[in-house]
Chain A
Amino acid sequence: MIRVEVRFAGLPRTETGLKAETLELAPDITLERLVEQLNRSYSWEIGRGGSHFVLLNQQSLRRERWSETRLQDGDSVLVISAIAGG
């Protein structure tokens, strides 16, 4: 198993009531699978036109790369809500 920290900021922090949680995941899990898991857990639509986004180790990845991106032990995934305006 690998341990991945999932952090929340913006609306996701409000909706989960969490600043962060650490998940134990299968060693071959991809970012795509983790996002699916998060979408199921919190009724989100990340990657399907919803207003929340994920960053892996502080970087955004194109949607098409999620399925080929295997998570590593110690990775950090940040879930944030859409940012617009300013």
Chain B
Amino acid sequence: MFSGGYRGKLLRVDLARERHTIEPVPDTILEQYLGGRGVAAHYYHEGMGSSVDPLSPANKLIFFTGPLTGLPLPATTKFQCATRSPETGIYLCTNSSGEVGPYLKRQGYDGLIIEGQARRDLYLALADGQVEFRDASDLVMLDTPAAIKAVRADGEAPDAAVMAIGPAAYNDVRYACIMVGDRSFGRGGAGRVMAAKRLKAVAVSSRGEIPVANPARIKEILPAAAKNARETKRAHNLFGTNQYTEVMNELGCYSVRNFTSGVFEGAATLSKDYVTRHYKDRSSACFRCPVACAQVCSVREGPLAGAVSDPEYETVGTLGGVCGVSDFAAVIAGNQLCDEYGIDTMTVGCVIGYAMECYERGLFTREDTGGLELRFGDAAVMLELIRQIGRGVGFGSLLGKGFRELARTHPATAYYMMHVKGMAFAAYEPRGFYGMALAYGTSSRGACHNVGGWTIRDELLTGEYDRFALEGKGELVKRLQDTRGYIDSLGICTVVRSSMGFTDSPTGDVLLAATGVDFTPRLMTIGERVIDLERTILVREGITRKDDYLPDRIFTEPLPEGPAKGRMLTREMYDVMLDEYYRLRRWDRRGVPACPTEGADREAAG
């Protein structure tokens, strides 16, 4: 059926036996779920029981590219991972940029499914169509940059794309990430799953090109799409996503001191102009990206001199705003530590912010913290806690367990945990944008701004919505989630997607030129089908309506200051949005879909 875009095969790896098989990926699955997130969810649904322990050999790491991953088009860098999260205890979908996804397709595979637990510490090397299980016993506790370098040297493959885990994953940090070069599968703890499998890294060499259905048309599309992306995303190139910091603060919905306020008095030194003037070295691009939104920053003087990293908005908002830290040098250093240890920056910032508030309220004492005084705004303590978490020592060994486990062991502090389904908030105050509250609540992986649907633009700029109104938010979040459902299945970055016609009203012929099949008119239906399938998985794992609510703070405390002063959501207000959302999804009042192929049924019905 497909004449390009896909390779039609997946690589299934059995770590215990150190064997692999190559299987066809049925066209019918690709037609239904497109690729990436959708197809990964399909294999998770088919292959994982409802009671699998995330750290047991029965868990799987299911990596899938999309039909556009690796193609000669803008930012075709994305691939997805589905696994059972050790942070949340439920289904996780997470995505990454970097070169591993594109190279996996060049090796001839749409997907990579990793099963079992190795009997020794090893890494996987894919090169020239071969699959090798190579010894990693000397690499285990290396930080991620050193591990990636060592893997390349060991395999004599200096250009190989490598994804690796750091010490945090082996030290039981439940939100340990997988670093993919300098990008990451950040959220949900896929890195911890990899450590449980005794798999340190996966190295993939580049090999050949990926066939496309209509190469001439792809060649025509590329320059116009790249030009459009460069022009429309100029601010991303200049400032990256951190351009939002001052905007969110100006609107009174920034993430401040564990979400006790929406306005941060220290925002000026975290904001783009100050950062550009004092810290920015250059803009950096992912695979085939014409935008280059990553902002590589370095600390040039002071006690943190020499620190280098590229903090995104969310990282600035969590290591900075949530912890009350206004010193951008500390954010750069904290981000670098997280990358080296292999820790999700967003979750760690929220966990530290929670610990700071609990300490200030007397719920943690110096005895608990090993003598550390946890105060909002103390950058040195924030950095020390990241080190402790990464090393699995001191108070950090407790914080590394994440909110779900902390709620079990320290129930008296649960009120101060800003999370949904065990996943920490992103850096947007949900009382400042009611749509974001619903997005956090209904995202399939917990409080996520991407998977959940990023409502900020629609609520702020279109004039169609009042950000403090309830009506229409169910429709908005559903539409954004469905859009994201298909975008995450394509294999491209969301920053450039509209340059190729991938919006909530998809246009263009990119997919026809790539695959030979005109998916475009069906994309929103496919996105909806992906969300329905994910919800079916979650319901199987015990998730119902009760899990779609936000922490009590959001429902009981009005914002104390700023433009959104006095704003809050009651549970009754939230129910108005949630009911609308369920109704439009045709889920029942418990949040249970009729069947996972609901979207397909609707499509067939015309």
Contacts and interface: CB of A to CB of B under 8 A. Distances in A.
Interface of A: 7, 9-11, 13-14, 51, 53, 55, 58-63, 65, 78, 80-86
B412 interface: no
A9 B250 contact: yes
A84 B233 contact: yes
B457 A84 contact: yes
Contact of A11 (B232, B243, B251, B252): B243
B26 to A, nearest CB: 33
Contacts of A13: 246, 273
Contacts of B238: 11, 14
A86 B456 contact: yes
Given A9-B250, A58-B251, A83 B462 contact: no
Going nearest first, the 4 A-B pairs with the smallest beta carbon separation are A62-B463, A86-B454, A9-B250, A85-B495
A58 B563 contact: yes
Nearest to A76: B563
A42 to B, nearest CB: 15
Given A86-B450, A86-B454, A10 B246 contact: yes
11 contacts: A7-B250, A9-B250, A10-B235, A11-B235, A11-B238, A53-B461, A58-B564, A63-B463, A78-B251, A84-B457, A85-B241
Contacts of B462: 60
A9 B246 contact: yes
B461 A82 contact: yes
Chain A facing B: main interface SS: mixed
B498 to A, nearest CB: 7
A74 to B, nearest CB: 14
B460 A55 contact: yes
Contact of B498 (A11, A61, A65, A84): A84
B520 interface: no
A80 B563 CA distance: 15
B235 A51 contact: yes
Given A10-B243, A11-B235, A83 B457 contact: yes
B216 to A, nearest CB: 30
Contacts of A78: 250-251
Given A9-B247, A10-B246, A85-B495, A60 B273 contact: no
Given A51-B235, A58-B251, A60-B463, A81 B457 contact: no
B112 to A, nearest CB: 27
A7 B313 CA distance: 21
Contact of A86 (B241, B464, B467): B241
Contacts of B498: 84
Contacts of B457: 82-84
B445 interface: no
Given A9-B250, A11-B235, A55-B460, A83 B563 contact: no
Contacts of A58: 251-252, 563-564
Given A59-B466, A61-B463, A83-B457, 17 more contacts: A10-B235, A10-B247, A13-B246, A51-B235, A55-B460, A58-B252, A58-B563, A59-B467, A60-B463, A62-B464, A81-B243, A84-B233, A84-B498, A85-B454, A86-B241, A86-B313, A86-B494
